Structure formats: structure tokens, C-alpha cells
Structure 1
Amino acid sequence: MPSVNLRHSVRAIILNEDERILLCRFAIPEPAGTVVWAAPGGGIEPGETPLAALSRELREEVGLAVTTDPPHVWHQEVVAPGYAEGYDGVINDYFLVRTAAFKPRGTLSDDQLAAENISGLKWWHPREIASYAGADLFSPRDLASSLTALINAGAPSGPVRLGL
């Protein structure tokens, strides 16, 4: 089997006191018009630990400082051409961050966020995700059920493997 080049990323499941999750709105250029709501985070830079990358990404995208090591709750591997530009797919490791609700505003400018395809931030309740009937997608696709299970059962002893 040929080796695949996967982008290693970290993402935060940021939950507030009302069990709402903070998601980024990604307007993906190809296919045109694709909008995906996903947890904030991004690629791990060379020489960077996953938790250092998570801390950096959350500061940049939403303005949240992570002061403790959050539990690693989900692991996702997606091998799909075009899923991550320049890669054969992505590995996403998700960490649970609980916080009081806040107005998200990171250190990146609107232009810098747009360069990363981020066009908005929104707090969502799992019921809103489950009942959403619009054209936008969620990542992972089963976010509502995975999130509900996480809220109901708490952080697992090891990361749960997710699908696409």
C-alpha cells in the first residue's frame, strides 16, 4: 500500500456552561459554495507539540487562552484527495475545553481569517446541529450525535475514533 501524506491537526471542542459548542464557519472554495461548520483549530507546525498547536490556534482564531492540558476526546482520520490542500487527507485530534461563554475574537485580522477560509464564528447547541436543514455541512458529519454522547458521558478514558 502506498504511503499517504496526511495533515496532522488539532481541534477544540469548546463547550460553554449551556453545553453550546463554538464552531468556525469555513467557506471552502472548491467545490464552490461549500460551507462547513467545524471546531476551531488547525495544523501542527514542525517541532510543535499538539497542545502547543492547540493553544496557538485558539488564541489566533477565537481569542481563548488554554491554561491546562484538556482531555483528548476524539480522533479522526480522513483519507480523501482534496480534503486538505497539498495532502492526501487529514488527522484531526480533538480536545475538550470547557469555558464560560465569551464573544470570540482572536488575534488574526478578518483578512487573515478569510485567508484560512473562516468567515464566521457561532455558538451552537447540539439540538440546533441535529435539526439543521440548510445546505451547510458539519465536520465531523455526525457532530450532533458525537457531541451529545460526549456531553452525556463526559470525557472518555481515551479518544473515540470518528468517521468522516
Structure 2
Amino acid sequence: MPSVNLRHSVRAIILEADNCILLCRFAIPDPAGTVVWAAPGGGIEPDETPLAALRRELQEEVGLTVGTRPPHVWHQEVVAPGHAAGYDGVVNDYFLIRTTRFTPRGTLSDDELAAENISGMKWWHPREIAGYQGSDLFSPRDLAAPLTALITSGVPAEPVLLGL
């Protein structure tokens, strides 16, 4: 069986006091017009630990400093050609960060964020996600379900396996 080249990434489930989650708006160029709301984070660089990658990505994208090691709550593997440029798919590990609401502004400029396809950020309440009727997508697609479970049941003993 041929090996699969997956991009390993870390993402943060950033929740504030009212259980709103901070999501990044990714404007995906192909297919044109695709918008996906996803947790901030990104790829783990060679010789970088997942925690170091999470700290770097959150400073760059939203300006959040991560002190202690946050709990690992979700794990996602998506093997799909074209899902990540240059890869056969992605592995996303999600970590829970509780914080007070803040205005996201990382160290990356707007042009640098745009180069990563990030065109905005928004705090979403789980009810807004569950009731959303527009054309934008969420990652994972059923984000409202695992998010609600995380909020109501707390940190799982083992990371929950997510679908697409």
C-alpha cells in the first residue's frame, strides 16, 4: 500500500466565558468562492513540537499567548486529494483554551493572513453555528455537535475522533 503524505496541524478551540468560539474565515481559492470557518492554527514545522507549533500559530494569527499545555480534546484525519495543497490530506489535533473574549490581532499582517487564505475572524456562539443556513462551511462540517458535547461534558479522557 502506498504511503499517504498528510499535513500535521494543530488547532485551538478558543472558548470565552459565554462559550463562544473564535473561528478564522478561510477563503479557499479552489474551488473559487469556498469559505470555511475553522479554528485558528496551522501546520507543525519540521523539528517543532505540537505545543510549540500551537503557541507560534496562535501568536501569529490571533495574538494569544499560550502558557501551560492545553488539553488535547479532538483528533481529525482527512485523507482527500486537494484538501491541503501538496498533501494527500491533513491530521488536525485540537486543543482547548479557555480565555476572556479579546479582539484577535496576531503578529501577521493582513497581507500575510491573506496569503494563508484567512480573510477574517469572528466569535461564534454554538447556537449560531448549529442554526447557520448560509453557504459557508465549518471545519469540521458538524462543528456544532462536538463543540456542544465539549461544552456540556467537559474535557474528554481521550481525544474525540472527528469526521470531515
Shorter-chain-normalised TM-score: which range?
A: over 0.9
Paired residues, number = 164
What amino acid does structure 2 have at the position aligned with 1:32?
Answer: A
After superposition, residues 1-164 of structure 1 pair within 5 angstroms as 1-164=1-164
* RMSD between superposed Cα atoms in Å: 0.3
Q: How far does residue 157 in structure 1 lie from its aligned partner after superposition? A: 1.1
The runs of at least 4 aligned residues of structure 1 exceeding 2 Å deviation read none
Q: SS of the residue aligned with 1:24?
A: strand
| Partners of 1:145 and 1:163 in 2: CA distance | 11
| Partners of 2:57 and 2:149 in 1: CA distance | 25
What amino acid does structure 2 have at the position aligned with 1:111?
Answer: D
> What TM-score results when the alignment is normalised by the length of structure 2?
0.99
Q: How far does residue 2 in structure 1 lie from its aligned partner after superposition? A: 1.3
| Partners of 1:28 and 1:17 in 2: CA distance | 30
Q: How far does residue 76 in structure 1 lie from its aligned partner after superposition? A: 0.2
| Partners of 1:159 and 1:45 in 2: CA distance | 22
| Partners of 2:68 and 2:20 in 1: CA distance | 20
Q: SS of the residue aligned with 2:84?
A: coil
Percent of pairs with identical residues: 81
Q: How far does residue 50 in structure 1 lie from its aligned partner after superposition? A: 0.1
| Partners of 1:115 and 1:155 in 2: CA distance | 33
What amino acid does structure 2 have at the position aligned with 1:138?
Answer: F
| Partners of 2:143 and 2:33 in 1: CA distance | 21
Q: How far does residue 158 in structure 1 lie from its aligned partner after superposition? A: 1.2
> What TM-score results when the alignment is normalised by the length of structure 1?
0.99
